Structure 1
Amino acid sequence: MAKKYYDENGNEIKKRGGCLKTVLIVIGAIVLLGIVIGALNGGDDSASNDPQTEENANQKEADKENSSSSDESQEEKSSNEEDDVPREHKNALREAQNYVDNMPFSEAGLYQQLTSEYGGQYPEEAAQYALENVDVDYNKEAVEAAESYQENTPMSDSALYDQLVSEYGSQFTPEQAEYAISQLSE
């Protein structure tokens, strides 16, 4: 049963954006299902038909080949530090990276998805670790979200801004929303 809210006169307040929130939850569930299926298939990314994933794998391989010996010692140090990170924190980070690689997320939206009972159900500490370590540009995420909104539901700049910053929408910061709108093609 949905929680109801009332104003000072006792009138029920209807939440706006519930449909979008439901859509985001469904999309999150689909992404999560894909992650689970990938894990059940052994988590072999090379079996993916996604050209971007293959491109990322090729880039990572090229980066490894070009790294110097000082990078290797830094990697060893980093690897030792990673050993101290709890498994659940590492999983939250991997899930966060999957989310931002597949759809646009704000930092607040990503945190909500990771901690939600309908999402990752991670403890706050694991979600916070993921946010601090995920490889993401939230300005770029905001642009992707704005482009998606404009493609699927054309709206005015003012309405788009409201959707991008709304707690029931994408939850980007005002600066990120303004940046995204400024980057849209005419």
Structure 2
Amino acid sequence: MAHQDEAQSASGTKTKKPIWKRWWFWLVIIVVIAAIGSQMGGASGQTGTQSSQSSSSQNATNNAGSDKDSTNTGSTGTDSADNGGADQKSDVPAEYRSALKKAESYATVMHMSKQGIYDQLTSEYGEKFSAEAAQYAVDNVKADWNANALAKAKNYQETMSMSPEAIRDQLTSENGEKFTAEEADYAIQHLNE
């Protein structure tokens, strides 16, 4: 009987996958890379420029709506423009700026999809941002979603030896990467280039 248990345990260890072939191992690696990337500030030069540009566009939208309200107080709404943009950054809430910075990190370091980033930002197990802050972030992040889908597809092909159809399914899955069908099609078309 002891001999059978030893034989079964020996045969059981032969069927186990190596740790690097398990999905959760890669998830842990991705999370660690994201954490390191966010600590380093990602591409700090680009992030500051993109954040300023998105703040400017958001401020222009806010100013257009606040012009109506400012007529009651005697303000013209052009005062912030006359300040050389010094007030523009303060018009965007800190939570929104933080969400945008995280979104940029997820898009550039982890090549995530737009929906994947939104879900990560709002997840109670992720970043826990408000839905509004997450929506602001994904609306203002500068990313090439086709390129992100292609990077994910190549990663699946190289590390997991998946077929193109399995990769397409993983890219578009609600439980997977959550890319659009068009982004997945682009990735599959350019997979071997």
**TM bucket by the smaller chain?**
0.5 to 0.7
Match of residue 28, structure 1, among 24, 27, 31:
31
Q: Which residue of 1 aligns with 2:116?
A: 109
Shift of 1:104: 1.1
Tell me the percent identity. Answer: 42
SS in 1 for 2:142: coil
User: Contact (CA 8 Å) 1:106, 1:138: kept in 2 or not?
Assistant: yes
1:86-105 aligned at under 5 Å gives the runs 86-105=93-112
Q: Between Structure 1 and Structure 2, which shows a larger proportion of helix residues?
A: 2
1:113–1:100: structure 2 CA closer, same or farther, 3 Å change rule? same
Q: Distance in 1 between matches of 2:92 and 2:132?
A: 11
Shift of 1:114: 1.0
Deviation sequence 1:111-169 (CA, Å, 0-9, x none): 11111122211111110010011110101100000011101011222111101101111
Q: Distance in 1 between matches of 2:25 and 2:120?
A: 12
Shift of 1:82: 2.9
Greater relative contact order structure (CA < 8 Å, 6+ sep): 1
1:84–1:183: structure 2 CA closer, same or farther, 3 Å change rule? same
Q: Distance in 2 between matches of 1:35 and 1:145?
A: 20
Q: Distance in 1 between matches of 2:170 and 2:117?
A: 16
Matched, 1:120 2:127: yes
User: Contact (CA 8 Å) 1:25, 1:118: kept in 2 or not?
Assistant: no
Shift of 1:35: 2.4
1:26–1:152: structure 2 CA closer, same or farther, 3 Å change rule? closer
- Where do 4+ consecutive residues of structure 1 move more than 6 Å? none
Shift of 1:172: 0.4
SS in 1 for 2:108: helix
SS in 1 for 2:99: helix
Q: Which residue of 2 aligns with 1:49?
A: none
What's the Cα RMSD here? 2.6
Q: Distance in 2 between matches of 1:21 and 1:83?
A: 40
Q: Distance in 1 between matches of 2:32 and 2:136?
A: 22
Matched, 1:157 2:157: no
Shift of 1:29: 5.1
1:123–1:84: structure 2 CA closer, same or farther, 3 Å change rule? same
Could you tell me the TM-score, scaled by structure 1's length?
0.64
Q: Distance in 1 between matches of 2:166 and 2:191?
A: 14
Q: Distance in 1 between matches of 2:23 and 2:137?
A: 24
User: Contact (CA 8 Å) 1:28, 1:113: kept in 2 or not?
Assistant: no
Q: Which residue of 2 aligns with 1:11?
A: none
Q: Which has the larger radius of gyration?
A: 2
Give the length in aligned residue pairs: 137
Q: Distance in 2 between matches of 1:128 and 1:25?
A: 26
Q: Distance in 2 between matches of 1:22 and 1:122?
A: 26
- Structure 1: give runs of 5+ residues left out of the alignment: 1-18, 46-52, 61-72
